[in-house]
C-alpha cells in the first residue's frame, strides 16, 4: 500500500513537471510558410539554425497564393515568405501580418529549361520563335498564371516578347513552380519556364534560355511576421534569415539578396 501511494506521488510529480516543461519547448518551435521555390535553401537554413540554437522549425512549402490564403484564414504560421509582392500585399490587406515586419529579402530570375536529352542547348526567344514546333507535341510547363507567381511572371514576359497568344493554348499549368519543373524532368513537357534557382537544383534539366529581366517586373521575395506572433523565438529566426549565414545559403542556391 505504501509503495502504491509513493508510486502515485512520483507519477503525479512527473506529470506536473512534464506539463510545466512542454509549453516551453512548444514555444521554441517556429512555423514558416514559404514559396515552394525556397524548399532547398530554407530546409538547409533551418538545419543550421537548429544545430546552433536547438530551436526547431516547421516548414510548409506551396504556391505563394495558397499559403497567403491559408494565413488569411487563420493557419498557424509564424513567418510568411512569398515569391512575389502581390500575395504579401494580400495578407497585409487582410490585416493578418505584423505591420512593421515586411522586408524585401530575396530576388530571382526566370529561365527556360528543357530535359537534358533535348536536342537544342540554346533557344532564342523572340516574337518569331515557333513554340509549337519547339515543344514537339508536348506543352510548355509553368506555374498557373491565375495564381502562381512564376506563372504570372511567365505570362507577363511572354506578352512583352510577343509570344503569349501562341503560348497560352500550349501551357501545362502547374500548381506551383516545382510542379512545373517536375513536368520537364519527366519529359512530359519538353520546355518549361521556372525560376533559375529551381533549374539549378535539378540534375535532370538544362537551362536553354535566360528570360530578359526587362520583360517582367522584378522577381522579389518579401518576408514578414504574422500578426500577434512576434515572440522572441520568431523574431530571432526572422533576423537569422537576414544574417550572413543565411545569405550565404541563399546565394549558393542562386538567389539574389537584398541587404
Residues 201-223, mean pLDDT to the nearest whole number: 97
Overall pTM > 0.85: no
pLDDT tens digits for range 24-49? 444 479 999 999 999 999 999 999 99
pLDDT tens digits for range 82-133? 999 999 999 999 999 999 999 999 999 999 999 999 999 999 999 999 999 9
On the question of pLDDT at 17 being above 50, the answer is: no
127 vs 75: CA distance, rounded Å? 43
- The residue among 256 and 28 whose pLDDT is bigger is 256
Average pLDDT, the chain: 91
- Cβ atoms of residues 146 and 87 within 8 Å: no
* Cα-based distances in Å from 171 to 47, 92, 155, 157, 167: 36, 31, 10, 14, 6
| Percentage, residues of the chain above pLDDT 90 | 88
For residue 79, the cross-strand partners are 32, 225
Taking CB atoms within 8 Å and a gap of at least 24, the contacts of 21-24 are none
Rg of the chain over all Cα atoms, to the nearest angstrom: 23
Residues 153-171, mean pLDDT to the nearest whole number: 97
Amino acid at each position: 500500500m505504501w509503495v502504491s501511494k509513493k508510486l502515485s506521488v512520483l507519477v503525479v510529480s512527473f506529470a506536473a513537471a512534464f506539463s510545466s516543461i512542454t509549453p516551453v519547448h512548444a514555444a521554441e518551435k517556429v512555423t514558416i510558410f514559404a514559396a515552394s521555390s525556397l524548399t532547398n535553401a530554407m530546409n538547409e537554413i533551418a538545419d543550421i539554425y537548429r544545430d546552433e540554437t536547438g530551436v526547431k522549425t516547421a516548414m510548409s512549402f506551396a504556391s505563394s497564393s495558397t499559403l497567403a490564403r491559408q494565413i488569411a484564414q487563420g493557419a498557424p504560421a509564424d513567418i510568411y515568405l512569398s515569391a512575389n509582392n502581390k500575395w504579401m500585399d494580400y495578407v497585409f490587406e487582410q490585416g493578418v501580418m505584423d505591420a512593421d515586419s515586411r522586408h524585401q529579402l530575396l530576388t530571382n530570375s526566370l529561365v527556360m529549361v528543357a530535359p537534358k536529352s533535348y536536342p537544342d542547348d540554346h533557344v532564342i526567344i523572340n516574337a518569331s520563335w515557333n513554340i509549337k514546333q519547339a515543344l514537339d507535341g508536348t506543352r510548355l510547363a509553368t506555374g498557373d498564371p491565375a495564381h502562381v507567381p512564376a506563372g504570372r511572371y511567365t505570362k507577363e514576359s511572354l506578352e512583352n516578347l510577343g509570344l503569349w497568344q501562341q503560348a497560352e493554348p500550349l501551357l501545362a499549368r502547374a500548381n506551383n513552380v516545382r510542379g512545373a519543373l517536375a513536368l520537364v524532368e519527366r519529359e512530359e513537357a519538353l520546355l518549361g519556364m521556372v525560376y533559375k534557382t529551381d533549374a539549378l537544383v535539378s540534375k535532370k534539366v538544362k537551362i536553354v534560355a535566360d528570360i530578359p529581366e526587362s520583360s517582367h517586373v522584378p522577381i522579389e521575395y518579401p518576408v514578414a511576421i504574422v500578426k500577434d506572433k512576434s515572440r522572441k523565438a520568431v523574431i530571432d529566426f526572422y533576423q537569422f534569415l537576414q544574417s550572413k549565414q543565411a545569405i550565404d545559403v541563399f546565394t549558393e542556391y542562386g538567389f539574389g539578396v537584398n541587404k
